Structures are given as C-alpha cells and as structure tokens.
Amino acid sequence: MADTTASGSPSCVERLKSYVKTPKGLTLAAEILVSFIIIICYASSWCGGYTTLPICEMTFSTIFFVIFMMDLDKQFLGINWVWTDLFRAAVGAVLYIITSLISLIRGSGDGACIAGAVFGLIAGLIFAYDTYTIYLQIQSKRQNSAAPTDDRV
C-alpha cells in the first residue's frame, strides 16, 4: 500500500491553515465571517430583503479564497485575478456602506436590523481595506515593471 502522507503536494487542510495565516487570507476570512454574521442579523430582522448583498459577497469572497488558497490563479491565466479581486472588493465596500447606512436610517426599533447595519459598516471597512491593499499591490507591480529609459538615442 502506498504512503499518502509522503506526497509532494500539501493537503487541502494544510493549505487552508497556511493561507489563513497570510494577510490576504486573513482579510478574505474576515470578509466571509462578517458577511455570515450580517446574514444572520438581517435574516432575523424585519428588513430581511437586505440579505442578498451579504450572501453574494460571502459567496464571492469564498470563491476568491479558494482560488487563491489552491493557487488556481496561477493556472488560469486568462483572467487578471488581481484586477478582478480589486473590482470585487471595491464594489463590496461601496455596496456595504450604502446598504448599511440605509438600514441604519430605516431600522429604528428593529435591533437585529441595526446590528446588521453596524456589522455592515464594519464589513464595508474590511472590504475597503482589502481594496487599498490590492491597489498597493498593483502600484508596486507597476513600479517594478517600469520600462527602462535609455538616454542614448
């Protein structure tokens, strides 16, 4: 019988543990966790229609978490994953902040809706931080790959 523990590739659980320890993995895990808390808050309140946004954002964050954890972004080169992730995080930040402000204004008397709105503002900040770190990553790649200038013409 073959020994499966001596294989060269790490298992999925080992990849999960090591990826969550990275800054990007921690940010994506926080996005997933806060989105799940918001789903619970909105689902138990009178403003249950606001659950669509956290469900979508949790799904997209989970998809990107798995793609980056399994290094699938290095295998599927047809998609620019950094720009796609930037777009996902920026849209998530804007939509969370707008939806949370609307929930805070309309949710008077409904504690679960207000709690969902407060967690939504926190999620908006996490998504905004993710957008900022992705932007810095793009800027550093642009500076490192700048075309050399030659004074001899």
Q: What is the mean pLDDT of residues 87-110?
A: 91
pLDDT band per the 50, 70, 90 thresholds, residue 50: confident
Query: Percent of the chain beyond pLDDT 70?
Result: 88
pLDDT of residue 9: 73
Q: How far apart are CA 32 and CA 98, in angstroms?
A: 19
Summarize pLDDT for 132-149 with one digit per residue, the tens: 999 999 999 888 765 556
> Does residue 5 have a pLDDT over 60?
no
pLDDT of residue 13: 86
